[in-house]
């Protein structure tokens, strides 16, 4: 990949990816209508068509940051209790080994350990989002793992090192969920999700650059932080996206206060260009 001018620099995103293989489940359509519309709007609103997408996925944890380098990634059905047919779905988008090597090289050049994995398939944190955004499955995709230690500073630092990809036609997407407590996905999670989401919006929308990153490093001090994220696996992709965003402003690209009937959830776009909430 060759570097393009900064005028063509793509946004970064932190996207709430929903649950399981929802785009393949007609019965889930009403519950996911708002999220689905926001993801379709994302594609329309991109200033330039990406050459590839780098998905930082909450569903892949490794000792060191690792990038998927399979040319034709398989499927990882990392969900439970869904209809039998959802364990046979495919999302046949190509991988892009050259991007995996480029991304790993950027981290290594910055003094950070990084690996590539030539076997890793797509997990649902990737294929569910991409099915909604790119249903034709032609966009090349590389996945990036999060670290098992959940160190927020390292995830922000990794994002900073990956920022040059934005000028090379690569869309950087942090795939997680702004509320991720599966035992409280209902009325019992209402108040905690709203409190945390309010803090998250203030932290992301009112600050930029180092100030915003520093606030995220202290995320455990947020209201209801550990009620919303008992484990921070679904939050760490945000830290990578924020690191890659640098001084770009955040915009709310998805917001819902009745997800699963009660939960507040949001997604964010980081770009100098404004974006209306869908």
| Residue whose token pair is 């934005």 | 166
Q: Read off the tokens for 165.
A: 């990809």
The pLDDT confidence band at residue 1, using thresholds 50, 70 and 90, is: very low
Q: Is residue 225 included in any domain, yes or no?
A: yes
**Owning domain of residue 51:** 9-270
DSSP letter string over 158-180? HHHHHGGGGGGTEEEEEEE-S--
Identify the three-state secondary structure at position 151.
coil
Residue pair 106/164 in contact (Cβ under 8 Å)? The answer is: yes
The predicted pLDDT at position 243 comes to 97
Q: Look up the CATH number of the domain holding residue 238.
A: 3.40.830.10
Q: Is residue 4 included in any domain, yes or no?
A: no
- Pairing of the two strands 263-270 and 250-259: antiparallel
CA atoms of 154 and 216, how far apart (whole Å) = 12
- Residues 64-93, mean pLDDT to the nearest whole number: 97
The pLDDT confidence band at residue 2, using thresholds 50, 70 and 90, is: very low
Radius of gyration of the chain (CA): 17
Q: Is residue 107 included in any domain, yes or no?
A: yes
CA atoms of 140 and 86, how far apart (whole Å) = 23
| Residue 166, phi then psi, degrees to nearest 5 | -65, -25
Beta bridge partners of 176: 16
Residue pair 20/128 in contact (Cβ under 8 Å)? The answer is: yes
Q: Is residue 3 included in any domain, yes or no?
A: no
Nearest CA among 57, 58, 46 for reference residue 253: 46
Residue 275 scores a pLDDT above 50: no
The predicted pLDDT at position 94 comes to 98
Q: Is residue 14 included in any domain, yes or no?
A: yes
pLDDT in tens, 76-85: 999 999 999 9
N-terminal to C-terminal alpha carbon distance within the chain: 32
Q: Read off the tokens for 54.
A: 């780098």
pLDDT in tens, 234-247: 999 999 999 999 99
Q: Is residue 56 included in any domain, yes or no?
A: yes
Q: Say how many C-beta atoms besides its own lie within 10 A of residue 209's C-beta.
A: 12
The pLDDT confidence band at residue 272, using thresholds 50, 70 and 90, is: confident
Residue pair 73/169 in contact (Cβ under 8 Å)? The answer is: no
The predicted pLDDT at position 47 comes to 61
The predicted pLDDT at position 184 comes to 67
Give exposure, 19-44, as e/b (b: 16+ Cβ within 10 Å).
bbbbbbbeebeebbebbbebbebbee
- Overall domain count for the chain: 1
Classify the C-alpha dihedral 247-251-255-257 as positive or negative.
Answer: positive
Q: Is residue 275 included in any domain, yes or no?
A: no
Q: Is residue 277 included in any domain, yes or no?
A: no
Nearest CA among 275, 230, 199 for reference residue 38: 275
CA atoms of 187 and 86, how far apart (whole Å) = 27
pTM comes to 0.94
């Amino acid at each position: 990949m060759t570097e393009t001018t900064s005028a063509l620099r793509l946004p970064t995103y932190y996207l709430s990816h929903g649950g399981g293989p929802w785009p393949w489940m007609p019965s889930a359509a009403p519950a996911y209508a708002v999220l689905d519309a926001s993801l379709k709007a994302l594609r329309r609103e991109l200033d330039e068509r990406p050459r590839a997408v780098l998905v930082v996925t909450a569903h892949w944890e490794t000792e060191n940051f690792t990038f998927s380098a399979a040319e034709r990634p398989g499927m990882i059905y990392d969900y439970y209790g869904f209809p039998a047919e959802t364990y046979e779905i495919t999302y046949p988008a190509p991988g892009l080994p050259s991007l995996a090597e480029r991304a790993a090289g950027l981290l290594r050049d910055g003094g950070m350990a990084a690996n590539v994995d030539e076997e890793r398939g797509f997990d649902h944190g990737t294929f569910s989002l991409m099915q909604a955004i790119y249903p034709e499955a032609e966009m090349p995709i590389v996945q990036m793992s999060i670290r098992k230690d959940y160190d927020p500073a390292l995830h922000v630092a990794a994002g900073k090192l990956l920022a040059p990809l934005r000028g090379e036609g690569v869309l950087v997407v942090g795939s997680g969920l702004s509320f991720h407590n599966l035992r409280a996905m209902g009325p019992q999670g209402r108040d905690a999700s709203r409190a945390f989401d309010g803090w998250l919006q203030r932290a992301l929308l009112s600050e930029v650059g180092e100030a915003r990153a520093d606030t995220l490093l202290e995320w455990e001090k947020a209201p209801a932080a550990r009620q919303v994220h008992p484990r921070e696996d679904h939050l760490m992709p945000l830290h990578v996206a924020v690191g890659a965003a640098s001084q770009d402003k955040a915009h709310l690209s998805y917001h819902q206060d009745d997800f699963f009937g009660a939960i507040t959830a949001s997604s964010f776009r980081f770009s100098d260009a404004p974006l209306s909430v869908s």
